[in-house]
Amino acid sequence: MVSAPQPVVENKDTNVSRETSPAAKDPMATPLARQVADEARRRRAAEAATAHRPEATRVFTVANQKGGVGKTTSTVNLAAALSLLGMNVLVIDIDPQGNASTALGVPHHSGVPGIYDVLIDSVPLADVVQPASTVERLWCAPATIDLAGAEIELVPLVAREARLRKALEKFLAQRTGDDRIDFVFIDCPPSLGLLTVNAFVSAQEVLIPIQTEYYALEGVSQLMNNITLIREHLNPDLRVSTILLTMYDARTRLSAQVAEEVRQHFPNEVLKTLIPRSVRISEAPSFGETVMTYDPASTGALSYREAALEMTAVKASGPSAGEETGEGQHG
């Protein structure tokens, strides 16, 4: 015989916890929430910050003999970020690949007057400079395919190491007052040939992008030796003022370790801002844009704006970049 089912009696003494998780009680308890809140704080600070024009034009050579470190990407995005902050900026593309010209939306096919004509035929720089397609106050002297043979053609020329410097000085002298160029970035090929030597001779400052990955410092020692040689023989005013850490991945311990190692080697030169590894940053050049206009709300655009603000806070003849000068993402 089957007994009838007994009614279920609720045990009122049973203390059944219906508390939600700590993350629900405290929205800041999750890593994602903290990241979003931190980014919002950084964005407010970056948007509220003001940038001041330097007392004189600052000329940077952007160099790293190790390829794939974000050299050209950092060149065009820093240039765009500074322009959006109200600076007049010139990018000189002396890498035969012409990637900086592409990212700025500047035509650089064969037949377009470019930096090759300036170096080889002494064409005035003003005759080849073009405005960037998406950012005001930003100009580019493009690299055409002809530049691939310039290394050989420069060899027999008089003052071959200083041809770019002479052209740049003449160009800058023509831009005065509100039209004065505030920042010049020279994007170099990943080698030390006559093109790169011309860039070093033309600049007062060197900006070195370093990826936060294994072998990050590979090639940097040789680059520093080459800069010393340039300073001793061709340009005594040249100095490494800025090191920018790129391709930072906050999810990995390796990135944090590499960032710390670089800071130990260059305590006064490394910017506080870290440039994250970002799909948006990588996509932008294929549309002829920088990430600053392609996706201005992205973390990559925010980081480059922070880096640009740090650079404007350091005088050309003052302390090295990397001192307490700006709001940035910390590692």
Helices (H) and strands (E) in the chain, counts: 13, 8
pLDDT at 296 over 90: yes
Question: What confidence score (pLDDT) does residue 172 get?
Answer: 97
DSSP 277: P
pLDDT above 70 (res 4): no
Has residue 328 got a pLDDT over 60?
no
b (16+ CB within 10 A) / e for 274-302: bbbbbebbeebbeebbbbbbbbeebbbbb
> Could you state, in order of their start, the residue ranges of all structural domains in the chain?
57-324
pLDDT, position 29 = 65
Q: How many CB atoms lie within 10 A of CB 219?
A: 16
Residue 326, amino acid: G
Min mean pLDDT across 126-140, 179-193, 217-231 is at: 217-231
Please report the pLDDT score of residue 5 as a whole number.
Answer: 55
Predicted confidence band of residue 221 (pLDDT cuts 50, 70, 90): confident
pLDDT tens per residue, range 117-170: 999 999 999 999 999 999 999 999 999 999 989 999 999 998 999 999 999 999
**CA dist list (Å): 98 to 18, 47, 93, 103:** 62, 32, 7, 9
Please name which of 95, 119, 99 lies closest in space to residue 168, comparing C-alpha atoms.
Answer: 119
pLDDT of residue 236: 96
Contacts of residue 300, defined as CB under 8 A and 6 or more positions apart, other chains included, come to 77, 275, 276, 278, 280, 281, 291
Where does the pLDDT of residue 325 fall: very low under 50, low under 70, confident under 90, or very high at 90 and above? very low
Is pLDDT at 100 greater than 80 in this prediction? yes
* DSSP-derived secondary structure for 169-229: HHHHHH--GGG---EEEEEPPSS-SHHHHHHHHH-SEEEEEEESSTTTTTTHHHHHHHHHH
Return d(Cα 265, Cα 252) in angstroms, integer.
21
Q: In the chain, which ranges are E strands?
A: 58-62, 89-93, 130-131, 138-141, 183-187, 205-211, 239-248, 270-276
Write down the pLDDT at residue 45: 75
E strand or H helix at 96: none
Q: State the pLDDT at residue 65.
A: 81
State the average pLDDT over residues 39-44: 78
Q: pLDDT over 90 for what percent of the chain? A: 65
Across the range 83-98, mean pLDDT stands at: 96
CB 85 within 8 A of CB 326: no
CA atoms within 13 A on the CB side of 88: 12
pLDDT-derived band at 317, boundaries 50, 70, 90: very low
Considering the chain, what percentage of its residues have pLDDT values greater than 70?
A: 85
Strand partners, 244: 209
The pLDDT score that the predictor gives to residue 7 is 55
Q: Please choose, from the candidates 197, 189, 6, 8, the residue with its C-alpha nearest in 3D space to the C-alpha of residue 100.
A: 189
Q: Is the pLDDT of residue 228 over 80?
A: yes
More confident residue, 95 or 21: 95
Q: Which CATH class is domain 57-324?
A: alpha beta
| Range name among 5-19, 138-152, 228-242, 245-259 with the lowest pLDDT average | 5-19
The reported pLDDT for the residue numbered 28 is 60
